[in-house]
Protein backbone atom coordinates (compact mmCIF):
# COMPACT_ATOMS: atom_id res chain seq x y z
CA UNK A 1 0.00 0.00 0.00
CA UNK A 2 1.25 3.43 -0.89
CA UNK A 3 1.47 6.15 1.74
CA UNK A 4 -1.55 8.42 2.10
CA UNK A 5 0.31 10.99 4.19
CA UNK A 6 0.13 14.59 3.04
CA UNK A 7 3.89 14.75 2.58
CA UNK A 8 3.75 11.77 0.20
CA UNK A 9 0.77 12.84 -1.93
CA UNK A 10 -0.33 15.60 -4.24
CA UNK A 11 -3.64 17.40 -3.87
CA UNK A 12 -5.02 15.45 -6.82
CA UNK A 13 -3.99 12.15 -5.23
CA UNK A 14 -5.66 13.15 -1.95
CA UNK A 15 -8.86 14.05 -3.81
CA UNK A 16 -8.80 10.61 -5.43
CA UNK A 17 -8.09 8.86 -2.12
CA UNK A 18 -11.08 10.54 -0.47
CA UNK A 19 -13.36 9.94 -3.45
CA UNK A 20 -12.44 6.26 -3.67
CA UNK A 21 -12.77 5.78 0.08
CA UNK A 22 -16.17 7.40 0.43
CA UNK A 23 -17.71 6.19 -2.79
CA UNK A 24 -20.67 7.79 -4.55
CA UNK A 25 -21.67 10.77 -2.41
CA UNK A 26 -24.80 11.19 -4.54
CA UNK A 27 -26.00 7.62 -3.94
CA UNK A 28 -29.01 6.52 -1.93
CA UNK A 29 -28.67 9.20 0.70
CA UNK A 30 -30.35 12.61 0.55
CA UNK A 31 -27.24 14.70 0.99
CA UNK A 32 -25.61 13.54 4.22
CA UNK A 33 -22.72 11.88 2.36
CA UNK A 34 -21.73 15.25 0.95
CA UNK A 35 -21.14 16.34 4.54
CA UNK A 36 -18.87 13.36 4.99
CA UNK A 37 -16.89 14.39 1.94
CA UNK A 38 -16.63 17.92 3.33
CA UNK A 39 -15.23 16.49 6.56
CA UNK A 40 -12.09 15.46 4.66
CA UNK A 41 -11.52 18.80 2.93
CA UNK A 42 -8.70 19.69 5.36
CA UNK A 43 -6.90 16.52 4.25
CA UNK A 44 -7.37 17.36 0.59
CA UNK A 45 -6.09 20.89 1.28
CA UNK A 46 -3.03 19.47 3.07
CA UNK A 47 -3.96 20.91 6.49
CA UNK A 48 -4.71 17.72 8.48
CA UNK A 49 -3.91 14.06 8.07
CA UNK A 50 -6.80 11.61 7.69
CA UNK A 51 -5.85 10.13 11.05
CA UNK A 52 -6.33 13.51 12.77
CA UNK A 53 -9.73 14.06 11.17
CA UNK A 54 -10.91 10.58 12.13
CA UNK A 55 -9.69 11.02 15.70
CA UNK A 56 -11.55 14.33 16.03
CA UNK A 57 -14.72 12.76 14.66
CA UNK A 58 -14.44 9.79 16.99
CA UNK A 59 -13.84 12.06 20.00
CA UNK A 60 -17.04 14.00 19.24
CA UNK A 61 -18.98 10.76 18.71
CA UNK A 62 -17.78 9.13 21.93
CA UNK A 63 -18.23 12.28 24.00
CA UNK A 64 -21.84 12.64 22.89
CA UNK A 65 -21.30 16.14 21.55
CA UNK A 66 -24.01 16.68 19.00
CA UNK A 67 -23.03 17.55 15.47
CA UNK A 68 -25.14 19.16 12.78
CA UNK A 69 -28.19 17.19 11.74
CA UNK A 70 -29.39 16.70 8.21
CA UNK A 71 -33.18 16.58 8.35
CA UNK A 72 -33.41 15.34 4.75
CA UNK A 73 -31.78 11.98 5.42
CA UNK A 74 -33.75 9.19 7.07
CA UNK A 75 -30.62 7.02 7.24
CA UNK A 76 -28.71 9.42 9.50
CA UNK A 77 -31.44 10.63 11.83
Q: What is the pLDDT of residues 21-67, one digit of tens each?
A: 887 655 555 555 566 778 899 999 999 999 999 999 888 776 655 55
Crossing angle (nearest 10°) for helices 32-39 and 11-22: 140
Instruction: Tabulate helix, strand, coil % of the chain (nearest 5).
Output: 55, 0, 45
Residue 4 in any domain: the answer is no
Domain count, the chain: 1
Residue 52 in any domain: the answer is yes
Residue 26 in any domain: the answer is yes
Alpha carbon distance, N-terminus to C-terminus of the chain = 35
Q: Name the residue range of residue 23's domain.
A: 11-63
pTM over 0.75: no
Report how far residue 43's alpha carbon sits from residue 6's, in angstroms, rounded to the nearest whole number: 7
Residue 38 in any domain: the answer is yes
Amino acid sequence: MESILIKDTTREERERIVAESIGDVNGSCDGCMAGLADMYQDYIDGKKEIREINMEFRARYESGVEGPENEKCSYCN
